[in-house]
Structure 1
Amino acid sequence: MKKLILLLIMISLSVWLGCDVKTPEQPQVQTFSKVVALGNSLTAGFQSSGLCECMQPQSYPNLIARQMGNAAEFEQPIVHEPGIGSTPGKGHLQLVHGKIIAPDLTVPPQAMLLNAQLPRPYDNLGVPGALLRDMLYATDATTSVAKTNSFFNIVLRNPNLGNTTQLQQAIALNPSLVLLWIGDNDVLGAALNGGNPALITPQADFQTLFTTLLTELHARTNAKIIMANIPYVTDIPYINTMDIIFRPIPALGISQSVPVVFDATFQPVDFDASANFLYLPLLTEEKSVAHLTLPALSAYQTGVGIPNAAALMQMGLPEAQAQALELGMKAAGLNPTGQPLPGTMSITNTENLTMKQAVDDFNSTLQALATQFQIPLVDANALFSHLNSSGLDGYSSQFVLLDPANTAFSLDGVHPNDGGYALVANAFIEKINASFNLAIPKLNCPDFKGQYAGGISAQMTMEVVEQVKAIF
C-alpha cells in the first residue's frame, strides 16, 4: 500500500514538473523599431522663437527615442547655429549679457540644414507653425495656410521627396509608433493676435480634418499611435505674465481687477501713502480686459498705456492731483504718454471665453476620436494647467524674466524650454508604458534646469516679443 501511494506521488510530481508554469509578463523597455513624430513647433523642439541644433536634442520625441534606446536612428532636421527664427533673416532668441536678443542671419535658412541630404523623410516631421489642415495638405510654404512659412520647406524638403505632405512622409517611413500632437495652433494664432476669433479653426472643420488624419494613419500603417490633446492657450507666459499687475481700484470706483501702473519688478505701484490704496489703471483700447500679452510689456516700457494728467482727470481725479501723479510717475522713471494699449495687445473676457470654448470643443473631439480609434490620449491640457496653477516637478510656468531658474518655458514665452519638453516627454512615456505594457525609463526633469543661469534684464524690445507671431 505504501509503495502504491509513493508511486502515485511520484507520478503526480512528474506531471506537475512537466507543466509550464506561466510567470507574469514583465514590461519591456521598448518594442518599437520605427518611431515617427507628427506635429507642429511643440513636436519640432522649437524654443525661443527658433529651431537650432543647440535645442533640438531636447524635442520631446527625441527625448522619448533616447529613453527607448533609439536616439541614434531618430533623424531630425538639424539646424546649424544660430538657428532659424520665426522672423525671416533672424536666428532664435538668445540670452546675451542678461538681455534677450534676436541675432541676424547671414546665410539662407536652407543652407543651415545640416542633414539636408538624408535620402528619406525625417523621423521628426514637426513643422513649426503648422495647423491641422497643413498636416494633410501642405507640401511647402506656398501650399500652407500661412503661405510664407519657410519651415515647411526646411522639414519636408520638397520637391526632392515627391511633393509629399507631412502625413504622407510619415506613412512612407512605415512607422511602428506614431507620436501625434497637433491642433493647438488652430487656437494659438488667435491668442497671439489679441484674441482674434477669425483665426480659430471652425469646430466642424477640425473634426473632419482630424478624422481624416486618423483614418489615413490606420488604413495605411500598422503603427500604434499615441496622441495628445490641446492645452489652454492662456496657460503660457506670453498671455498670462501680465496677470500679476491686475488689481481692483475701489478709490476710483473700479471693483473688477484691471491692469494698473507697475514698476520694474512687476509690482503694482500704490500712489497713496495713506491706508487707502490708489492704483492707476492702464489705458487700453478694449474694455473688460482679461489678459495683456507680452507685446504690451514692451509697449508699456516706452510709455504706451501709462495715463498722463489729462487721462487721470477724465477718470475723475482733480487737476492738481492728476498733475502731481504725472510728475510722480516721471520721477519714478515712467513715461506717461496717455496713449492706450492697442486691442492687438489685450484679450477681453469675451475673447478669453471664446478661446477656452474652442479648446474644450477640440479636446472633446479628440477624446471621442481616441475612443473611436482606440488611441491612448495624453492629457497635455491637464499637464499645462497643473504647471500653470501650482508648478510641476520643481518647474514653474512663469516667464523667464520672473523665474529664470525654474521656468519651464523658453525665451519666447510660448514654447517649452529643455525642462518643459522633458515634462512633456515624461507624460508621453507614462502613457506609452501604461498602454503597451512597457517600462521605458522616465527622465529626471530637474537635470534640465539651469538653462538661463544669471541675471536677466526686464527690458524686452518689440522686435523680440513680436518674433514668435511671424510664422502665423
Structure 2
Amino acid sequence: MKTLRYIVLLVLALGLASCENDTLDDLRNRVDQGTEVLPDLTVGELDVSNYVAVGASFTAGFADGGLFRATQELSFPSTLAMQFANGGGGDFLQPLMDDNTGGILVNGSPASGYRLIFNGSGPEPLNSFLEDLGAPVPPITTEATNNVGSNFNNFGIPGAKSFHIVTPGYAAFNPFYTRIASSPGATVLGDAIAQNPSFFTLSEMGGNDVLGYATSGGTGIDQTGNIDPSTYGPDDITDPNVLGGAITQMVGALTANGAKGVLTNVPFITDLPHFTTVPFNPIPLDAATAAVVNGAYAPYNGGLQLALSNSLISAEEAAARTIVFEESETNAVVIEDETLTDLSGLGLPNYRQATADDLFVLPASSFIGTEAVPGNPLTVNGVAIPLADQWVLIPSEQSAILNATNAYNDRIEAIANSNEDVVLVDLNGILTEASTTGIEFDDYLMTTSLVTGGLVSLDGIHLTPRGYALMANKFLEALDEAFGSNFVASGNVASAGEFPTNFSPLLP
C-alpha cells in the first residue's frame, strides 16, 4: 500500500519555478510606467491620517501557517496604508516579528512553529525541509514575553475570537497579544482606541469563532444558546449573540470620536482548501489486499445485517454503514461517525466509509495511508483503522458551521447598516466567487486551489500576499462607493503582479 504523504497531487514545479520575495520597500520604490492620465486622488469624507486595523490573523498578515516579517510587510492593512499615504495618511506601524521563521516563543519554548514552504509536492514545515537538505535551520527568535509596546497601528491578533478582542487580560492567553499589550489587564480594543484612530478596519471577526471547531474536525461544542464565553473550550463555536455583542461594542468604541471604517462579514470557511483539498476516496488497493480488508470487516457487516433484521437500523443506514473495498485507486476511507445509531449493545462501532459529502482537514493528507504499527500493512490508517473525528467534518458538523456563519453575518450586516460611519465588505461573497468561478485580479484568475490558485497560502486557510492585496482593493472599492473617495479611479490600488504568492525557504 502506498503511503499517501500528500494526496494533494500538486504537479506545480513550473508555476513555482522561482520564489517571489518582494518586500514593502521594493513595492514603494517602483514607478508606474503607464501613460494613462488619471484624476487626482480625493478621499471624500474620509480622514485617513491615522489608520488603525483591528482583527485577527488576516489583519496581522498571517500566511503559510505562521506570522513572519515578510508577510506582515505585505498585509492588507499595510497595503491600504500605502494607498492612504497618497491621501494624507500617516505612518503605519506594525509589531513586526523578529525573523522570517513564522514561529513565536514563550519563555524560550515554541508556542507556534515554523512556517510552511512548498517542497515540490506539497506544504512542509521550513525546519523539516532545511533539515532534509542538510541546510542550517534558522532559530525562532521572537519572544512573546519581550513586550515591544502597544503604540502600533495594526492590532491583528492571530487566533483571537470576537469576544477575545474585548476581554480584559487576554494577553495571558495569546502570545501575539502578550507581546504588545499595554498592561496585563488590557483589552485589544482598548489598546487600539488609545491610538485615537481617524479611520479603522474591523476585519474577519467571527472567522476564529468557528475555525477552531472546523480545524479540529468538529470535536468542539456548538455553544449556540450559551451566552457565557468563559465556559467555552478553545474549539467551540461562539454563540451568535455573544459575537454580535462584542462587535457592537467594538464598532461603538471605534466610531465614538467620528472615525469611519470598514467592517467585514465571515466567509464560509469550509470553502477554503484546508477542507477541500484531501479527497474522500484516496485509497489504492489491488484485488488481493481488498479481499483481505473485506474479510476483516465481514463480522462488522454481518452485525449490521443483524441490526437490520432486529429493526435497530433502517435499510438505508445499513447500506451506508456497510464497508466494502475493491481493486481500485479510489477507495473511500473508513471513518467514525458519532451521528450513526448506537449499536454498542451488539458490539458494533459507529463506522462507515466516507462520501463526497464529508470534508477532510488538510493534515489528514499526511496521515491517511500510514501504518499505525510500522511494517504491518493491516494497520493502515483510513483502511484497517478508521479515521477519528479530528480528521473529518461530517455533514452535521458542516451544518453547525454554516448555521453559525449565517447567524454571524446577519448580525454583522445589521450592525453595519445601523451606523452610517461604517461600510460592510462582503468577504463571504468574495470567497464564494473565488471558490466557484474564480475572481479576476489584473491578469490573474484567483481561485481557492491550494498553491496553484494564488489566493490562499500553504496552510489552506490564510491568504497569500497577493490574496491580501486583492482584499485591500475590495476595501478601497467599498470606500469609494460609501464615502466619496476615488482610490480606484485615481489608480491608488494594489497591482497583483507586485505581490508574491509564495516565499523562498531562504528568506533572511
TM-score by length of 2: 0.65
Q: Which residue in 2 is equivalent to 1:296?
A: 364
Percentage identity across paired residues of the two chains: 27
**1:293 aligned partner, one-letter code:** V
How many angstroms apart in 1 are the aligned matches of 2:323 and 2:170?
42
The code of the aligned residue for 2:483 comes to: F
Matches within 5 A, 1:343-362: 343-362=389-408
Secondary structure of the residue that 2:359 maps to in structure 1? strand
Instruction: Provide the residue aligned with 2:340 in structure 1.
Output: none
Q: Describe how 1:141-290 pairs up with structure 2 within 5 A.
A: 141-142=171-172, 147=173, 149-159=174-184, 163-181=185-203, 182-198=205-221, 199-219=236-256, 221-243=257-279, 245=281, 271=327, 279-286=330-337, 287=352, 290=358
- Give the Å deviation of 1:157: 4.8
Alignment match, 1:101: 125
Tell me how many residue pairs correspond in the alignment. 374
Q: Which has the larger radius of gyration?
A: 1
Amino acid corresponding to residue 360 of structure 2 in structure 1: L
Partner of 2:428: 381
Distance of aligned partners of 1:435 and 1:193 in 2 relative to their CA distance in 1, 3 Å threshold: same
Matched to 2:243, the amino acid is: F
Partners of 1:437 and 1:260 in 2: CA distance: 62
Aligned to 1:47: 63
Change (3 A) 1:51 1:158: farther
Aligned to 2:384: 338
* Match 2:165 to one of 120, 135, 157: 135
Q: Does the aligned pair in 2 maintain the 1:49–1:93 contact within 8 Å?
A: yes
Structure 1 CA distance for aligned equivalents of residues 192 and 469 of structure 2: 23
CA distance, structure 1, for counterparts of residue 371 and residue 90 of structure 2? 51
Instruction: Tell me the secondary structure at the aligned position of residue 284 of structure 1.
Output: strand
The answer for unaligned runs of 5 or more in structure 1 is: 1-24, 262-269, 273-277, 312-333, 455-472
Distance 1:67 1:33 in 2: 12
1:27-62 residue CA offsets vs partner (Å, 9 max, x unmatched): 605741110000001100011222111110111111
CA contact (8 A) 2:279 2:360 kept: yes
**Residues 263-295 of structure 1 deviation map (CA, whole Å, 9 limit, x = unaligned):** xxxxxxx836xxxxx842211112566201112
Which structure carries more helix by proportion?
Answer: 1
Aligned-pair Cα RMSD in Å: 3.7
In the TM superposition, residue 191 of structure 1 has moved relative to its aligned partner by: 0.4
Residues 1:255 and 1:396: Cα distance change in structure 2 (over 3 Å): farther
**Aligned partner of residue 335 in structure 2, secondary structure:** coil
SS of structure 2 residue aligned to 1:36? strand
Which SS does the other structure have where 1:38 is aligned? strand
SS at match of 1:95: strand
Structure 2, unpaired ranges of 5+: 1-38, 128-136, 222-235, 284-293, 295-315, 338-351
1:134-192 CA-to-partner distances (Å, cap 9, x unmatched) read 111144432xxxx3x21111232535xxx421111121111111100112111111101
| Bigger Cα displacement from structure 2, 355-364 vs 434-443 | 434-443
Query: What is the CA–CA distance in structure 2 between the aligned matches of 1:450 and 1:204, rounded to whole Å?
Result: 37
Matched, 1:433 2:494: no
CA distance in 1, matches of 2:327, 2:170: 55
